[in-house]
Amino acid sequence: MSCVNDRFLAAEPKFRIRARYTDTTITVYQAYRPGIGLAAARDGRFPGEWKRDRMTWIKPSFLWMMYRCGWGTKEGQETVLAVEIDRAGFEWALRHACLSHYVSGVHTDRAAWKRELGRAPARVQWDPERDLHHNALPCRSLQLGLAGEAARRYADEWIVGIQDVTPLARQVHAAVRAGKPEEAGALLPEERAYPVAEDVLARLRA
């Protein structure tokens, strides 16, 4: 199920994590220049030039990644990766995350939010989900930023496998350009509502 599908729009909650997942793993997407992306897909881990001391953003939504990287056409984002990671690691990041911006009612005040943001190894941002034409939808897509300990754990402990899905991005984009939305939609990875403990999600709703 995806909020990209029109028949679910009315019932889909605004804040929900939708992802491709198994009992033990969840797939997230990133896009890199070929020097990093192709090496990562080949070796199943990020190369030495991948900086563990920088924040890295992972996205469970394939279509939001396509919006962000322009179907793999933007400079520095030509290689689209599907990174399969351990669910326990992903959920550790959620439990240790802070919203990327201040929200009244979620945080006591701006000072408290800034303190939490400074300590948190992960941060959450909710952006409008996108359809096949990159139009914004009412439901939101999770972006999870990993820094410090979270980035290191992601690169060195959580990754189960890395796949280059640039060919899939190009195939879906070609179907969209050809005016074949049903064909394009059938190619999309199946993303379902991801089960998250309510106390975790409640703290991260924007």
pLDDT for the residue numbered 75: 97
Q: Is the pLDDT of residue 198 over 90?
A: no
Planar angle of CA 146, 61, 160, nearest 5 degrees: 60
Region 130-140 average pLDDT: 95
Helices and strands in the chain, H and E counts: 8, 9
pLDDT per residue over 157-171, tens digit each?
A: 999 999 999 999 999
Q: In terms of residues, how long is the chain? A: 206
Q: Is the pLDDT of residue 17 over 90?
A: yes
Q: State if pTM tops 0.85.
A: yes
Q: Is the pLDDT of residue 1 over 50?
A: no
Residue 61 and residue 105 in contact, taking contact as beta carbons nearer than 8 Å: no
Give the least confident one: 40-54, 109-123, 191-205: 109-123
Rounded distance, CA 65 to CA 169, Å? 10
* Structure tokens, 117: 């943001």
Q: Is the pLDDT of residue 9 over 80?
A: no
Could you give the residue ranges of the DSSP H alpha helices within the chain? 34-43, 62-69, 87-95, 110-119, 149-153, 166-177, 181-187, 198-204
State whether the Cα torsion 17-20-23-24 is positive or negative: negative
pLDDT per residue over 72-85, tens digit each?
A: 999 999 999 999 99
Rounded distance, CA 201 to CA 206, Å? 10
Residue 146 and residue 154 in contact, taking contact as beta carbons nearer than 8 Å: yes
